[in-house]
Amino acid sequence: MRRQDNERGLEELRKVRRESRPYYWFVGIFSFFVNLLMLTGPLYMLQVYDRVLGSRSVATLIALSVLVVFLYGMMGLLDYTRGRVMGRVAARFQSKLDTRVFDAVVRRSAVQPDELSQTGLRDLESVQRLMSSPVLMAFFDIPWTPVFLIGISLFHPWLGYLAMSGGAVLIIITVINQLVTKNPTLKSNVTTMQAEKISDQLRQESEMVQALGMRRAAFLRWHDARQKSLSGQIGASDLTGSFTTLTRTLRLLLQSAMLGLGAYLVLQGELTPGAMIAGSILMGRALAPIELAIGQWALVERARKGWQNLGQLLAEVPPEQPRTALPAPRAKLDVQQLTVVPPGEQQAALRIVSFTLEPGHALGVIGPSGAGKSTLARALTGVWRPAGGKIRLDGATLDQYGPDVLGEHIGYLPQRVTLFDGTIAENIARLSQAPDDTKIVEAAKKAAAHEMILKLPEGYNTRVSSTGGRLSGGQMQRIGLARAMYGDPVILVLDEPNSNLDNEGSQAVNQAIKRMKEEGKSVLIMAHRPAAIQECDMLLMLENGSRSAFGPKDEVLKSMVKNHEQITKTAAMPGGVR
Ligand SMILES: Nc1ncnc2c1ncn2[C@@H]1O[C@H](COP(=O)(O)OP(=O)(O)OP(=O)(O)O)[C@@H](O)[C@H]1O
C-alpha cells in the first residue's frame, strides 16, 4: 500500500493526537521557561567572575547563590511537570486508540494474519513510548539551540562563529545519523521479532517438538534466527553508539575550544573571564538536546515506523459503521450464489453455491478434503466476506448484523478448538465481563459436557490454557461446543464436531443437534464421518468448491450410491476407468 493510500489511517492517528493540542501548548510554554531558566548557570558565572570577584563582596555572592538555587529549583519543577504532562498525553493517546487498534488487529488477523496485524499493538506502544520519553522533550528544546548560539555571539562575534559552525557540524551529523541508522535499526527490529516468533511457536508446540525428536533441529532454527537478530542488534548499536560518541566528543571539544578561544580573547582584552565561562556553558546547553536525540534515535525510528504501520493498518481496516439493531432473527438461512476467495488468494475456494436452510432443520455439508467445507463455515460466521453472492440470516445479509451480535446469533465450533487462558466457565461464557452462570451451565448441558466438567478437579473453575492444559482433545471439543451454544444462538455451525470424539461424545453432539432442531433452530455440520450427519435432514455435497448435490439427506445419499455404482460398473467395463 502506498503512502497516499495510508493517508486515511494517518489522519485518524493525527486526529487523536490533535485532541491533546492544548497540552502540547502547555508543554511548549513550559519548555520556553525551562530553556529561559537554562540561562541561570551562564548568568551566574558571568556575575560571579565579573562582579563578585571584582568587588570581593561575599554578600553579593550569597544573594546570587540563593537566587540561583531558587531558579534551578523552578527549572527542575517545570521540567518535571512537562515530563509528567507528556507522560499523560502519551497514555491518553494510547488508551484512546487501544480499542480501535485492537479491533483492527483482531479483524485483520482473522483474515490475514501477517506482520502488520501481529505488530499493531506493539506499534502503538512504540509511539506511546516515544511520546513519554525524554527524547520528545529534546525536540521541544532543539528550537532553542539557535537562540543559545546567537546568545553566545552577543559575548563576542568570534565565539558566535565558533558556536554556529560547531552547531552546523552537529546538525549535519544528526542528519547523517538519521539516514545511516534508519535501515539497520529497522532490520534489527524485524530480525528480533522473527526470532521471538519462532521461539513462541516452538514453546507452544513443545509437545510435538519433543515427540518428533525435533529438539536439535528446532534449536538450530531458532538459534539461527537469534544469531541474525543478535548481529543485527550489534550492527545497529555500533552505528548508533559511534554517532553518540562522536557527538559527545564534539560537544566536549567545542566547549573546550570555546574556553580556549574565550581565554585568547580575554588575553586580548576583548572579553571578560565571566563571558568566557558563560559562553562555554551555553554551548553545552545548546547542544545537549541534539546529543540526547542522537543517543536515543532508535526509539525515534521505532516510533516512526510504528506510526507508518498503524496508518496502514487503520487505513486497511476502516472503523465499522454503526448498524441499526435488528430483532433476534429466526433460524432461516438463505445462501445465494455464494463465492468466497480466501484472503490473499486469487482463486475462489467456494464457487456460486446456493442453498436454503429452514428453522428446525440440520444440514450436513460433506465432501472430500479441500472441497470448501471450512470455507463455507467461515463465510457463514462472517469471518470471511463473500466475494460474490449473498448470505441472509432471516432476510438480512450478515453484514447488517454487528460482528459481536452475529456471534451471539450464530454459534461456531471451529475445526481446531482453541481455548483461552482462564477457567472453563470463562471460556464457555466467551470471556464475557458479566458471565451468566445459569447460561453457562445450560450451554454445557446442551453440549452434554456438564457431567464431564463436574468430574474435573475444580469443575467449572478448572483453569485451562490455549492448548487445553489438562484437557483431552475430546473434552476440549465438548467445551468448544458448549461455548458455541452459550447465549442461545439460533444457528449452530459445527466444523468437524466429531473429529476428536468417542462414541459417547458423538452421541452427545447428536443429542445437542436434536435439541436445537426441536427448539426451531438450525444446525450446519461440516463432516467427513457418517456418524456426524445422523441428525441431518438435508445434505449439501461440495466438490472442488462447487455444489455437486443438495437435497433431503436420503435422496442425496441414494444418488451418491447410484453414481458410485455407475462409476464402479464403468470402471469394470473393458476400456473403462481404471
Ligand atoms: N487460510 C487460507 N488461505 C488460503 N487458502 C485457504 C485457506 N484456507 C483454506 N484455503 C483453501 O481453500 C480450499 C478449501 O479449503 P477448506 O479448508 O474449506 O476445505 P475443507 O473442505 O474444509 O477441507 P477439510 O475437510 O480437509 O477440512 C483449499 O484449496 C484450501 O487450500
Tally of CB atoms within 10 A around 383: 16
| Per-residue cell: 466 | 490455549
Ligand 1, atom 11, lies closest to the CA of 349
Q: Which atom number of ligand 1 is nearest to the Cα of residue 371?
A: 21
Indicate the DSSP class of residue 369: T
pLDDT of residue 564 exceeding 70: no
Residue 500 identity (one-letter amino acid):
N
Kindly state if the Cβ of 369 falls inside 6 Å of ligand 1: yes
Test site for ligand 1: of 340, 345, 375, 529, most ligand atoms within 8 A of the Cβ: 375
Give the pLDDT confidence score for residue 572 in this predicted structure: 57
- Per-residue confidence band for 563, with pLDDT thresholds at 50, 70 and 90: low
| CA nearest to 487, candidates 574, 410, 555 | 410
Q: Identify residue 263 by its one-letter amino acid code.
A: A
Quote the DSSP letter at residue 212: T
Residue the block writes with cell 548560539: 149
Q: How far apart are CA 157 and CA 475, in angstroms?
A: 84
Distance in Å, CA 375 to ligand 1 centroid: 6
In one-letter notation, the amino acid at residue 27 is: V
C-alpha 49 – ligand 1 centre gap (Å): 82
Residue 60: what are its φ and ψ, rounded to 5°?
-65, -40
Range list for CATH 1.20.1560.10 in the chain:
1-316
Ligand 1 centre from 75 Cα, in Å?
64
pLDDT value at residue 578: 40
Domain(s) of CATH 3.40.50.300: residues in the chain: 333-572
Distance between CA atoms of residues 395 and 415, nearest Å: 28
Query: Which bin fits 145, alpha (ψ -120 to 50), beta or left (φ > 0)?
Result: alpha
- Beta-strand runs (E) in 403-537: 410-413, 422-423, 463-464, 491-495, 522-527
* pLDDT for the residue numbered 69: 93
CA of 190 to the centre of ligand 1 (A): 30
Quote the distance between the C-alpha of residue 554 and its chain's center: 49
Exposure letters 76-113 (e unless 16+ CB within 10 A, then b): eebbeebbebbeebbebbbeebeebbeebbebbebbee
CA 124 – CA 179 distance, rounded (Å): 23
Measured distance CA(244)–CA(182) in Å, rounded: 15
Query: Which pLDDT band, with edges at 50, 70 and 90, does 576 fall under?
Result: very low
Region 190-202: what's the mean pLDDT?
85
Ligand 1 atom 24, closest CA: 369
Choose one of 366, 373, 526 to mutate for the ligand 1 pocket test, by most ligand atoms within 8 angstroms of C-beta.
Answer: 373
What 3-state class would DSSP assign to 374? Answer: helix
Q: What is the band of 244 on the pLDDT scale with cuts at 50, 70, 90?
A: confident
Q: What is residue 570's predicted lDDT score, i.e. its pLDDT?
A: 60
The answer, yes or no, to whether any atom of ligand 1 lies below 6 A from the CB of 340, is no
Atom 18, ligand 1: residue with shortest CA distance: 372
349 lines ligand 1 (CB under 6 A): yes
What is the pLDDT at residue 568?
Answer: 59
Compute the average pLDDT of residues 551-558.
85
Q: How far is CA 326 from CA 35, 198, 398, 408, 453, in A?
A: 59, 44, 11, 13, 35
Residue 375 Cβ < 6 Å to ligand 1? yes
Name the helix (H) or strand (E) containing 84: helix 58-111
pTM: 0.75
pLDDT of 350:
92
Tell me the CA distances in angstroms from 105 to 113, 397, 541, one per residue in order. 9, 24, 35
Superfamily of structural domain 333-572: P-loop containing nucleotide triphosphate hydrolases (3.40.50.300)
Cβ 293 vs Cβ 300: under 8 Å: yes
Q: Is 553:537 a contact under the CB 8 Å cutoff? A: yes
Dihedral sign, CA of 519, 520, 526, 529?
A: positive
Torsion angles phi and psi, residue 338, rounded to 5: -75, 125
Does the C-beta of 372 come closer than 6 Å to ligand 1? Answer: yes
Region 224-241: mean pLDDT is: 86
Collapsing DSSP to helix, strand or coil, 54 comes out as: helix
**Higher per-residue confidence, 495 vs 467:** 495
Give the model confidence (pLDDT) of 429-472 as tens digits: 998 888 888 999 999 988 888 888 999 888 999 888 776 667 88
Return the minimum-mean-pLDDT range out of 199-213, 514-528, 553-567: 553-567
Residue 92 has what pLDDT? Answer: 92
Which residues are paired to 551 by β-bridges? 539
Confirm or reject: Cβ of 365 under 6 Å from ligand 1.
no
Give Cα separations from 41 to 46, 141, 155, 242 (angstroms).
9, 17, 15, 30
Q: Is the CB of 295 under 6 A from ligand 1?
A: no
Smallest CA-to-CA distance from 40 within 78, 1, 68, 9 is with 68
Q: 312-367: per-residue pLDDT in tens?
A: 999 988 888 878 888 888 889 999 999 999 887 888 889 999 999 999 999 999 98
Q: Is 541 in the pocket of ligand 1 (CB under 6 A)?
A: no
What is the C-alpha to C-alpha distance for residues 483 and 151, in angstroms, rounded to an integer? 71
Spatial separation of the C-alpha atoms in residues 206 and 16, rounded to whole Å = 42
**Cell numbers describing residue 246:** 562522536
pLDDT tens string 380-409: 988 888 889 999 998 889 888 877 788 888
369 C-alpha vs ligand 1 centroid, how far in Å?
Answer: 8
pLDDT band, residue 124 (cuts 50/70/90): very high
Cβ(544)–Cβ(371) below 8 Å: yes
Q: Is the dihedral of CA 200, 203, 204, 210 positive or negative?
A: positive
CATH dotted code for 1-316:
1.20.1560.10
Residue nearest (by alpha carbon) to ligand 1 atom 10: 342
571 pLDDT higher than 60: no
Helix, strand and coil content of the chain, in percent to the nearest 5, comes to 65, 10, 25
pLDDT at 114 over 80: no
Our CA angle for 531, 533, 534, nearest 5°, is 70
**Which residue among 338, 346, 374 is best mutated to probe the pocket of ligand 1, counting the most ligand atoms within 8 A of its Cβ?**
374
Does 414 contact ligand 1 (Cβ within 6 A)?
A: no
Note whether 553 and 361 are within 8 A (CB).
Answer: no
pLDDT reading at 3 higher than 60: no
Q: Mean pLDDT over residues 242-255, rounded? A: 85
Q: Which atom of ligand 1 is nearest to the CA of 367?
A: 21
Specify the length of the chain in residues.
Answer: 578
For residue 328, the CA-to-ligand 1 centroid distance in Å is 31
The CA 387 to ligand 1 mean position distance, Å, reads 16
Going by alpha carbons, the residue nearest to atom 3 of ligand 1 is 342
521: DSSP letter? -
Closest CA to 485 of 531, 528, 427: 427
Residue minimizing CA distance to atom 1 of ligand 1: 342
pLDDT reported for residue 483: 93
Establish whether residue 342 lines the binding site of ligand 1, counting it when its CB lies within 6 angstroms of any ligand atom: yes
Q: How far is the CA of 492 from the centre of ligand 1 (A)?
A: 20
- pLDDT band of 81, cuts 50, 70, 90: very high
Name the residue among 537, 468, 538, 474 with its Cα closest to residue 502: 474
> What is the distance between the alpha carbons of residues 229 and 189, in angstroms, rounded to a whole number?
8
| C-beta of 518 in contact with ligand 1 (< 6 A) | no
Would you say residue 376 has pLDDT above 90? yes
Compute the distance between CA of residue 521 and CA of residue 490 in angstroms, rounded to an integer.
5
Is the pLDDT at 141 greater than 70? The verdict is: yes
370 CA distance to ligand 1 middle (Å): 5
DSSP conformational letter for 216: H
The overall longest dimension of the chain from CA atoms, in Å, is 126
- Ligand 1 center to 336 CA (angstroms): 20
Strand (E) or helix (H) holding 283: helix 273-295
The complex's ipTM works out to 0.95
CA distance 126 to 296: 13
At position 28, the amino acid (one-letter code) is G
Here the cell at position 146 is 539557535
> Which residue is closest in CA terms to ligand 1's atom 7?
342
